[in-house]
């Protein structure tokens, strides 16, 4: 049991079969599971079985890293409780930690605030052969900054072009970029926050600020729509992943990573030594 | 099926029941599996079932990180092919990547060479709540540096005290340290290197230098013995983990991490907000 149609095509914000028209979060049902017929039990089995393929492809990427091979950057954006943590644990976690570099971008420090908004993310661009994973990203600077007016609107407007240029620079340097919005419904978020308030082992994940942000839900969806429209490119595409079913969003993101890595068509690096000679030396050692 | 005796006690370089006497790598059979009666099939099952416990404890550590909780540093040292990569993938990889910071210390750069040997490891000391994992470490500077005379011996001799002071500083700052030597036999290493030369998908892991180092095997074992004797402390203990059976070394290191985390006796952080009030606010949002 697996996807009967590729999430890469189905979840892309800019559908090829819609003559390049853009999809907004409002067009996507957070409850849906595009391309997948099975239910939760099958989904968990798919997650487990495809983890091996993902892991294999990631090793291939890593193996090519030492000869200036490409890298992959996964950007994950979402409203609170949408399941970023689960993606990190269950999808990213199935790859070899030696070849994965994760970075989490919370509220900026005073020093970060004094710099250009791209300053703090640049050191986390993955090196050759690595899968970089960003839990939130430079998109915070056009999402919460737009919604909560942390930056004047004209300046936010300029940032979209800066983001396009930045991402193009990464692509030119050999980084493949996959940008994911985990798309949750406002009701489902209420249920998930309620669960955190019901369980003492979840209190630490709860912040009263989470409820404050809910008042701006529609503004956030609008900010996502604009950010996606402004920065979705062939080189750095956006995907809107329905996230009301945690298991679905996990197998969908897993499949997006697999598709991105497969499209690189990598091969195992050839020996840069004389294999037969080394066999003789080893036997004699 | 699990360990019938704790690897923490059995694998410690300084046995409590030997009136503090030290164990050297030469005293440990790389083929053995102390504390574990089962074979490979049971071992794999143990690895899978204990992964959940490790993951749970790591989340507890992470949850406490925001209130200046402790951190854990796992240092892994070994001869080539001893299975560091497998530990990273199968043991470290079962924890949430969001709370794990890994660092790999290969041959130093020119810049690193111009600094004190501890300079390059310091930025990788785990922050509060994190599990830090070092694939090789500052111990390279008293292992290969001693064996291959990359540093004059008197200077190497001084480094042991510097390492003790450095590690004590980390301990005082709330970092628990677990130091592991994966202990492989020279014959088993030959077999593993031979496999790399037989499989084109493994060529990239092979380096002719690996055979060169085999000529110094006994010197390396001696350097390990001295390093362990000089730097094993209650606060930063060494463990010699038999590594001829990959599955055993993995469940052993997994168990060491579990023991270290359990000994911290952490609890879920209490709510720093009014739970009932938040429930009402959430329901109204």
pLDDT digits (tens, 9 = 90+) for A33-74: 999 999 999 999 999 999 999 999 999 999 999 888 999 999
Q: Closest by alpha carbon to B60, among B210, B273, B265, B282? A: B265
Of A204, A275, A285, the CB nearest to B214: A285
Q: Closest by alpha carbon to A170, among A207, A203, A138? A: A138
Instruction: Give the length of chain B.
Output: 285
Widest distance between CA atoms in chain A:
73
pLDDT at site B233: 92
CB contact under 8 A, A102 and B98: yes
Q: Collapsing DSSP states into helix, strand and coil, what is residue B196?
A: helix
Of A97, A205, A279, the CB nearest to B102: A97
- Angle between helix axes B40-65 and B246-262 (nearest 10 degrees) is 30
Write out chain B residues lying below 8 Å of A197, CB-based: 275, 278-279, 282
Contact A115, A179 (CB under 8 A): no
- Assess A278–B contact: CB distance below 8 Å, yes or no: yes
Of A190, A201, A270, the CB nearest to B268: A201
Sequence-ordered alpha helix ranges (H) in chain A: 7-10, 40-65, 84-86, 110-113, 144-147, 153-172, 186-198, 208-214, 217-231, 246-262, 275-283
Report residue B121: phi and psi, to 5°: -90, -25
Q: Collapsing DSSP states into helix, strand and coil, what is residue A29?
A: coil
- The pLDDT of A112-121, averaged and rounded, is 96
Write out chain B residues lying below 8 Å of A85, CB-based: 96, 98
Residue bearing tokens 């000994």 = B263
pLDDT at site B16: 55
C-alpha torsion angle, residues A158, A162, A167, A171 (rounded to 10): 130
Rounded CA gap, A282 and B186, in Å?
11
CB contact under 8 A, B197 and A282: yes
CA distance B109 to chain A (A): 15
Q: Is the pLDDT of residue A18 over 60?
A: no
Rounded CA gap, B84 and A93, in Å?
17
What lies within 8 Å, CB to CB, of A182 at 6+ separation is A76, A77, A78, A79, A82, A83, A84, A87, A241, A243, A249
Residue B15 CA to chain centroid, in angstroms?
A: 18
Rounded CA gap, A141 and A119, in Å?
12
- The pLDDT of A131-151, averaged and rounded, is 97
Mean pLDDT by 10 residues, chain B (285 residues): 92 71 92 97 96 96 93 98 94 93 93 96 97 98 97 97 97 97 98 97 95 97 96 94 98 98 97 96 96
Copy the structure tokens of residue B126. Answer: 């785990």
Half-sphere CA count of B207, side-chain side, radius 13 A: 8
Half-sphere CA count of B126, side-chain side, radius 13 A: 30
Q: Is the pLDDT of residue A17 over 80?
A: no
Write out chain A residues lying below 8 Å of B135, CB-based: 98
Rounded CA gap, A37 and B143, in Å?
56
Counting beta carbons within 10 angstroms of the beta carbon of residue A74, is it exposed (0 to 12), middle (13 to 18) or buried (19 or more)?
Answer: buried
Report helix, strand and coil shares of chain B as percent, to nearest 5: 50, 10, 35
Rounded CA gap, A102 and A92, in Å?
9
Copy the structure tokens of residue A109. Answer: 């420090």
**Interface test mutation site (partner A, options B85, B92, B97, max chain A beta carbons within 10 A):** B97
Rounded CA gap, B189 and B244, in Å?
9
- Assess A271–B contact: CB distance below 8 Å, yes or no: yes
- Assess B199–A contact: CB distance below 8 Å, yes or no: no
Query: DSSP character for A270?
Result: P
**Interface test mutation site (partner A, options B51, B89, B100, B194, max chain A beta carbons within 10 A):** B89
CB contact under 8 A, B273 and A96: no
pLDDT at site B21: 79
CB contact under 8 A, A197 and B275: yes
Which pLDDT band holds residue A201 (cuts at 50, 70, 90)? very high
Report residue A103: phi and psi, to 5°: -145, 140
Q: Collapsing DSSP states into helix, strand and coil, what is residue B14?
A: strand
Q: How far is CA B56 from CA A133, A201, B49, in A?
A: 22, 11, 12
CB contact under 8 A, B94 and A93: yes
Half-sphere CA count of A39, side-chain side, radius 13 A: 1
Q: What number is the ipTM of this complex?
A: 0.89
**Interface test mutation site (partner A, options B90, B197, B257, max chain A beta carbons within 10 A):** B197
Report residue B35: phi and psi, to 5°: 85, 0
Judged by average pLDDT, the poorest of A117-121, A141-145, A268-272, B12-16 is B12-16
pTM: 0.93
Report residue A98: phi and psi, to 5°: -65, -25
Q: Closest by alpha carbon to A241, among A81, A85, A32, A49? A: A32
Copy the structure tokens of residue A38. Answer: 């099975």
- Assess A214–B contact: CB distance below 8 Å, yes or no: yes
CB contact under 8 A, B85 and A96: yes
Which pLDDT band holds residue A1 (cuts at 50, 70, 90)? confident
pLDDT at site A237: 96
What lies within 8 Å, CB to CB, of B40 at 6+ separation is B245, B247
CA distance A161 to chain B (A): 30
Which pLDDT band holds residue A15 (cuts at 50, 70, 90)? low
CB contact under 8 A, A193 and B282: yes
What lies within 8 Å, CB to CB, of A54 at 6+ separation is A91, A94, A95, A254, A257, A258, A261
- The pLDDT of A227-237, averaged and rounded, is 94
Rounded CA gap, A269 and A260, in Å?
19
Rounded CA gap, A179 and A224, in Å?
12
């Amino acid at each position: 049991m697996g996807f009967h149609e590729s999430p890469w095509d189905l979840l892309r914000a800019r559908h090829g079969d819609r003559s390049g028209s853009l999809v907004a979060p409002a067009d996507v049902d957070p409850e849906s599971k595009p391309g997948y017929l099975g239910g939760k039990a099958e989904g968990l089995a798919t997650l487990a079985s495809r983890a091996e393929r993902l892991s294999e492809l990631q090793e291939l990427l890593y193996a090519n890293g030492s000869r200036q091979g490409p890298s992959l950057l996964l950007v994950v954006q979402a409203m609170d409780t949408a399941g970023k943590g689960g993606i990190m644990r269950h999808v990213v976690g199935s790859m070899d930690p030696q070849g994965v570099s994760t970075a989490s971008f919370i509220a900026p420090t005073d020093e970060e605030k004094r710099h250009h908004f791209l300053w703090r993310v640049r050191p986390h661009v993955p090196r050759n052969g690595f899968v970089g994973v960003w839990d939130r990203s430079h998109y915070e600077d056009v999402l919460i900054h737009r919604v909560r007016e942390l930056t004047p609107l004209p300046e936010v407007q300029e940032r979209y072009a800066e983001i396009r240029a930045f991402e193009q620079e990464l692509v030119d340097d050999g980084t493949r970029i996959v940008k994911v919005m985990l798309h949750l419904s406002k009701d489902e978020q209420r249920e998930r926050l309620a669960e955190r308030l019901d369980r003492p082992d979840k209190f630490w994940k709860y912040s009263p600020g989470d409820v404050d942000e809910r008042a701006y839900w529609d503004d956030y969806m609008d900010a996502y729509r604009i950010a996606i429209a402004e920065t979705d490119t062939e080189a750095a595409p956006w995907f809107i992943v329905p996230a009301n079913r945690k298991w679905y969003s996990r197998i969908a993101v897993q499949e997006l990573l697999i598709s991105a890595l497969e499209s690189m068509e990598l091969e195992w690096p050839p020996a840069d030594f004389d294999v037969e000679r080394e066999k003789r030396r080893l036997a004699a050692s």
